[in-house]
Homo-oligomer: A and B are copies of this chain.
Amino acid sequence: MPAKVQELILRLTTIYDIAKKTGYSPTTVSKVFNNYPDVREKTRVKILETAKEMGYLPNANARSLTTKRSWTIGILFVEATGAGIRHPYFGAVIESFKKIAVSKGYDLMFISKDVGGLRSSYVEHCKIRGVDGVVVILSSNDDPDFQELLDSGIPCVILDSSPEKAHSVCSDNIEGSLQALRYLHSLGHRSIAHISGGLNTFAGDQRQQGYEQALRELGLTFRKEYITSSDFFSMESGYDAMNGLLALPDPPTAVFAAGDLLALGAIRAVQDRGLNVPGDVSIVGFDDIEMSRYITPALTTIRQHTEQLGSVAAEILTSSIEEQDTAVKSVMLPVELIIRDSCRPVT
């Protein structure tokens, strides 16, 4: 052990110290902190008082060791996309998740494929750390390590996915796509393209399905070249995708993007060509990130209730950890079309 660490060890007071000072046994001290009924009121207050005097703080590691409960929830999101925590959608969801989880006594820890500086699987990481549960955000379904996690028996709640094995919370993506397309259709648009988020994510897949379903519903013809698949939900890929669409001999008059960031990139691409949104192309996004209200043109989009997604996920996960109810819960939250300035009737 390095000298620095050694030196820094501020020996904290333990229940043994309290026991010695009060004259009671460590057992009794422990019972006080765990609200056991078999300790007399007088001794309870005495122990509590000296605990406060001595600045006692429980040692979470010691407690976890015996109780097998770490009061820690792992956060897992796909690192591959590079978007990670930087995507405003995730940030918002994590924040609301955190708020609920913390209020219930849990702390959040990032779970990655490295542990102790070595490569590992998610499950290994979780078991080593002894997390009580895991919240998974934007998983790519095809990751075997992720599947292994679902099978591991560790309580999981997945956002934007819906495996049979684990709890899940997601928005009604298909309905969102329908609403977007119906709206564009109502404005007279008939050539509507889709910037997909990619089929390797649940959300991307669902929204694309919804897009295709809407085409059928509205009697529009499906055109393969009108679906551009961006792998990530990033502005950059939205930008590239839109450029592809604009280069088409017969470009669409409207575009439904599977994410707001994609939409922002797309808008930029339109503008870079000297064209105008919504003048030349109407664009609808998905997510309603905070930013969308403030850009020009303000983005018409499908709002997800991110705060609720996070809090519902937290409720589900914590109760899954604490209750014996084994039924897998699968919640789908409604979405909402937010009309702003990025769409216009065809002329």
Binding site for B on A (CB under 8 A): 1-5, 7-10, 12, 57-62, 64-65, 67-72, 84-88, 91-92, 94-95, 98, 102-105, 107-112, 114-118, 124, 127-130, 132, 153, 155, 235, 239, 264-265, 267-268, 271, 290-291, 293-296, 298, 320-326
Contacts and interface: CB of A to CB of B under 8 A. Distances in A.
A300 to B, nearest CB: 16
A3 B321 CA distance: 10
Given A4-B325, A235-B290, A295-B295, 19 more contacts: A4-B320, A8-B155, A59-B65, A59-B130, A84-B91, A85-B95, A86-B92, A86-B95, A88-B88, A88-B91, A102-B110, A105-B115, A105-B117, A107-B109, A107-B112, A109-B110, A264-B291, A267-B294, A268-B296
Contacts of A298: 268
A294 B265 contact: yes
A149 to B, nearest CB: 14
Contacts of A325: 4
B153 A8 contact: yes
B322 A5 contact: yes
A236 B239 CA distance: 26
A98 B110 CA distance: 9
A158 to B, nearest CB: 18
A10 B153 contact: yes
Contact of A85 (B59, B85, B320, B324): B85
20 contacts: A4-B325, A5-B132, A5-B322, A8-B153, A57-B127, A57-B128, A58-B128, A62-B65, A85-B85, A86-B91, A87-B91, A88-B88, A88-B91, A104-B117, A107-B111, A107-B112, A108-B109, A108-B110, A235-B293, A264-B295
A268 B294 contact: yes
Contact of A235 (B103, B129, B291): B291
Contacts of A59: 65, 128, 130
